[in-house]
Amino acid sequence: MKGLFALLKGLWMTGVQFFSKTETIQYPEAVPPATRWRGVHGLFFTQDVKEELCVSCCLVARVCPAQAISMEGREKEDGDKVLERFDVDLGRCVYCGFCEEVCPVEAIRLTPSWDYVGRDRSSLVLHKEDLVEIGRISMNTGSKKESI
Ligand code: SF4
Ligand code: SF4
């Protein structure tokens, strides 16, 4: 008797689910990520999106636990530093957010972008131009995260 009840209950649940509204979302539609979601990195600019914020201090490369960041800077004649190369290997990154936390000028931020894919390991390495573009798009669309 108990088994029959369980069977009927199971069939009833199946029937309810069969006729209820589907919750599946077709890509590229997506549920917005949580506000604290850590997605693909971007290099950000001043408010007018003209000047890069990064001062090439190399702190992020030192703090990254996965050694996913490598970079090079050059000193200008006026003593300021300019960023020559900035690579983030997403194949190594564990999205811990340490880089975002330590940056003294909030130049690097983890954007809400969640659907970056690569066909091989080399395409998972983002270069400065890619990071700058992501930062620019993020600023223009207003999708940058608030400062942490
Ligand atoms: S999120 Fe973490 S693992 Fe990824 S680059 Fe930043 S510090 Fe490294
Ligand atoms: S992103 Fe921030 S911490 Fe990293 S080198 Fe640039 S200014 Fe320094």
Residue 115 lies in a domain: yes
What count of other Cβ atoms lies within 10 Å of the Cβ of residue 108? 23
Residue 114 lies in a domain: yes
pLDDT at 95 over 90: yes
Residue 29 lies in a domain: no
Residue 129 lies in a domain: yes
Give the total number of structural domains in the chain. 1
> For residues 71 and 85, is the Cβ–Cβ distance under 8 A?
yes
Residue 54 lies in a domain: yes
Ligand 2 centroid from CA 114, angstroms: 22
d(CA 21, CA 58): 51
**Residue-wise pLDDT tens digits, 68-92:** 999 999 998 888 888 999 999 999 9
40 lines ligand 1 (CB under 6 A): no
| CATH code for the domain in which residue 49 is found | 3.30.70.3270
Domain, as residue range, for 128: 41-148
Ligand 2 centroid from CA 63, angstroms: 11
Residue 2 lies in a domain: no
95 lines ligand 1 (CB under 6 A): yes
Which pLDDT does position 49 carry in this prediction? 74
Amino acid type, 26: Q
Which pLDDT does position 101 carry in this prediction? 97
- Grade residue 47 by pLDDT with cuts at 50, 70 and 90: confident
107 lines ligand 2 (CB under 6 A): yes
pLDDT at 134 over 70: yes
Residue 20 lies in a domain: no
What count of other Cβ atoms lies within 10 Å of the Cβ of residue 143? 14
